[in-house]
Each structure stands twice: as C-alpha cells, then as structure tokens.
Structure 1
C-alpha cells in the first residue's frame, strides 16, 4: 500500500467515525424530543448526512437505537467511575434521575439489549455501592441487583408525567433512607 493510499484510508476512516458520531448525536436529540417513532430521515437531516450514510453505519433503526443506548450506558458508567466515597452512590442516583426525567429516550430504549454496556454500568454501580458501604453510608446487606432495580424503577418513575424537582427529591430521600446504614 502506498503512503498516499494509506493516508487516504486513514482519512476516510476518520471521516466515517465523525459521521457516525454526528449521526448518534442527531439521533439522540431527535429521539429525545420526538420519541423512537421519529424517522431516520429526520436524523440524517439533522446530522447533515444522506440517509444512505445513516444506513451504512446502522442498517436498521434498532441498530441505531442500540448504539444510542450503548453510548448512553457507557457515559453513565464513565460518570459513575468518576464518583466515589461515601456520597458517590447518592450523587449517581440524583444525576441518573435528572437525566431520565430530561431524556425519554432512556426508557424508550430499555427494550434494546446491550449486555456488555449494561454489565459495564452494573460494575461501576457495584463499585459505588462498595465504596458507600466501606464508608458506612449504605447498609452492608444491600447488594448490586437491588441497587440496579432501584435505579431502573426510579428512572421509570421520573419519566411518568408530573415528576417535578420536589417529587424527585422526596423519592430519592425515601430511597436513601432505605439504603442508609
């Protein structure tokens, strides 16, 4: 392979990666505001690419939705990894509930299976739980599956109509009281 051919190949791959990210950004915005019933044509328009480019990266709408969920879960796992100590789990709960209330996409995509990303998030939440238990702020008998169930439930509730900041705070206070050592 000539040097020029190699350079062109690298440039094409970088351009393709930028297009993929623009498509995912646009899809997240479109599906957040319009729900998963929104069209992929709208996603392509917002991303500034042709519909064929969307389908080259994501052959089906489900593939696009799965990629959004995987990216969102990776972001959440990364966020959880930056937290820690006695209050890390509480801070993570608050952030997740705020995001769920703002982004319907989280629950709409819940049916899409992305085991590796969910596992990564579960590990990050497990580490937050371990640190909170070591600091004495969470009961020792609480396990990761219970915490994950609480996270999913409270996010589901945040998406139901009528969840204002005060209701979020009262709900989180009940959960934190139940987790308290």
Structure 2
C-alpha cells in the first residue's frame, strides 16, 4: 500500500486486509471478494481498487507468512548440512502452505500476468531467500544441478493443492513431499 494514500484509503486497505485474512483462513483462495467487501464495510470497487486481482489480495494476505519463511531460509543457510537445511526449509514451506489456506494459490506459477504494482512478490521473495540454500546444496552434490527454486515451489504448490481436500491435508502433503524427496524406489 503506497504511503502517499489518503488516510481513509489507508484505513480501508487495513480493514479490507484484516477481513480478507479471516475470510481466506476460513474459505481458502476462493474466498468471496464480495463477502470481504461487505464485512469490511466498503464497496466491491474499493476492494478491487486496492487489490485489482485475486492474486494481489492473496499476496497481501500471505505476505507476513512469506516474510517468516524467507527469514527462516536465511537462518538455515548457516547450517552445516546443506541438504538437511534445504529439506527442512521446504518441509516448513509445505506446512505453511497447508495451514495458510490461500498461500499455495498465491505462490502458484499459472502464467497469469500480475496487475501493475502487484507483482508476484511472494514467489520472488521466496526465490531470493531460498536461492543460497539451493545453490549450496547443488554445489555439495546433494541436489541435482539444474534444479531451481521455482521448480521446488511449483512442486510444493502442486502437493498442497492436490491434498487440500484430503481428510488429513497436512499428513498427506508431508507424505507426498517426503516421497518426492526420496523417490519411489525402495531404499537399498
């Protein structure tokens, strides 16, 4: 939200965001923009002025969680075992995506252009923060060369979205993530 906005616009933004956080937590990425507007006491046009796309709204709702994940990636970059550090961080991203309904949708690479001024900051922030973790794991031979953070985020998003309606989404997502890490072959 630009600081140069009028005070009433800043208040509307904060109120819409607070309502959206609750609505996305309850309904997920498909939370009704109209219900958010009604509950915030503003018109749909006001919601769309602040958040021109659903993705822009999800990005804003997810921002504090993504900031925490980025901080965690930087913290884990200091760990001795690069593979364990990367896998620990990725496991935390999976857990966040499962618990923070709407985060996976905010991170999804779906080819949809972001609205001007509402770039895909969540994905960019995670890519920047996780880059050193992945780079070190690749250098250590713990991860295949050519693997990108975008690949890993896409994998996590896919797992999270695929398990969203499972009776135990966290357990199913973690199991599928661990399976993707170890592969399908039995250990020898």
TM-score under structure 2 normalisation?
0.64
Find the counterpart in structure 2 of residue 31 from structure 1.
24
CA distance in 2, matches of 1:137, 1:119: 25
Q: Where does residue 95 of structure 1 map in the other structure?
A: 92
* Cα deviation code 1:103-123 (max 9, x no counterpart): 442355545643542333333
Structure 1 match to 2:42: 51
Contact in 2 for aligned 1:100/1:158 (Cα 8 Å): no
In the alignment, which residue of structure 2 is the partner of 1:7? none
Partners of 2:97 and 2:160 within 8 A in 1: yes
1:104/1:157 Cα in 2 relative to 1: closer, same or farther (>3 Å)?
same
Q: What is the aligned counterpart of 2:152 among 142, 147, 155?
A: 147
With over 3 angstroms needed to count, the CA separation of the structure-2 counterparts of 1:175 and 1:18, relative to structure 1, is farther
Whole-angstrom distance in 2 between the partners of 1:11 and 1:122 = 29
Corresponding residue for 1:6? none
The answer to whether the 8 Å contact 1:133/1:139 transfers is yes
Partners of 2:158 and 2:24 lie apart in 1 by: 21
For residue 150 of structure 1, report the CA deviation from its aligned partner.
1.6
Given candidates 57, 60, 72, the residue that maps to 1:82 is 72
Could you list the per-position Cα deviations for residues 24-82 of structure 1 after superposition, in whole angstroms to 9, with x for gaps in the alignment? Answer: 12113213323525252x324544xx323x6335238x725232232226742552243
Q: 1:164 to 1:153 in 2, by over 3 A?
A: closer
Task: Report 1:1-181 matches (<5 A).
Answer: 13-35=6-28, 36=30, 38-40=32-34, 42-47=35-40, 50-52=41-43, 55-56=45-46, 58-59=48-49, 63=52, 65-71=54-60, 72=62, 75-76=65-66, 79-83=69-73, 84-85=76-77, 86=82, 87-107=84-104, 110=108, 113-114=113-114, 115-117=119-121, 118-134=123-139, 136=140, 138-144=142-148, 145-178=150-183
Find the aligned partners of 1:11 and 1:141 in 2 and give their Cα distance.
Answer: 45
Task: Specify whether residues 73 and 133 from structure 1 end up closer, same or farther in structure 2 by C-alpha distance, changes over 3 A only.
Answer: farther
Aligned residues: 163
Q: Distance in 2 between matches of 1:128 and 1:14?
A: 41
Identify, as 1 or 2, the structure richer in helix: 1
| 3-state SS of paired residue (1:161) | coil
Deviation at 1:142, TM superposition (A): 4.7
Q: Which sections of structure 1, spanning at least 5 residues, go unmatched?
A: 1-9
> Which structure has the bigger radius of gyration?
1
> Is this contact kept in 2: 1:77–1:125, CA < 8 A?
no
Structure 1 157/77 Cα, relative in aligned 2: closer, same or farther at 3 Å? farther
